[in-house]
Structures are given as C-alpha cells and as structure tokens.
Amino acid sequence: MRKKLKNFKPEQQGEKRAAELMEKYGNMSEDALYAKLMQEVAAAKSNGSFSAEELAADVDRMRPYLTHEQVEKLNHLLRIIGS
C-alpha cells in the first residue's frame, strides 16, 4: 500500500477527471447539460444516493473557474434542485 501512495498526486487525479468530464460533456449545449444534470439528480434522489452536501462541495470547487453569469445560473440551478 505504501508503494501505491508514494507516487500518488491528487492534482493529477483531478486533472484526469476534469479531462474525462470535458470529453464526455464538452460538446453539449447549455440546455443539454441542464437536462442531463436534472436527469442525474432525479436518479440520485430516487435511489437515495443524492447528497446536497456533496453537490455543494463540488460547486464550491468549480466557482473560481466560472464567470459571474455562470455562477448566477449555477446558484439558480441549486435552488431548483433543492440543495
């Protein structure tokens, strides 16, 4: 286990995850992203895996990379979702 952790670099994991998400969602329109988000939230709520706290933490990590307009839209979505 120590060997595995020795070379672990969390920033690389984050960068890899960001690249994967960009590949998956990067070409989607804002409306398509909104619909996908609402679909994912509905599924998570129905199976009991939705966590408003985790969502809020994810959003807080994204805020520095967003414009003021994007933050306002995101805040609106969070109010709709109920977090």
Report pLDDT digits (tens) over 4-44.
556 656 566 677 877 887 788 888 888 888 888 889 899 99
Provide the pLDDT for residue 1: 47
Report pLDDT digits (tens) over 39-78.
989 999 999 999 988 888 888 888 888 889 988 988 898 8
From the list 43, 22, 46, 49, the residue with the least C-alpha distance to 33 is 22
Percent of the chain with pLDDT over 90: 16
The ranges assigned to domains in the chain are 29-83
Provide the pLDDT for residue 37: 85
The kind and range of the H/E element at 55 are: helix 52-62
- The single-letter code of the amino acid at 58 is D
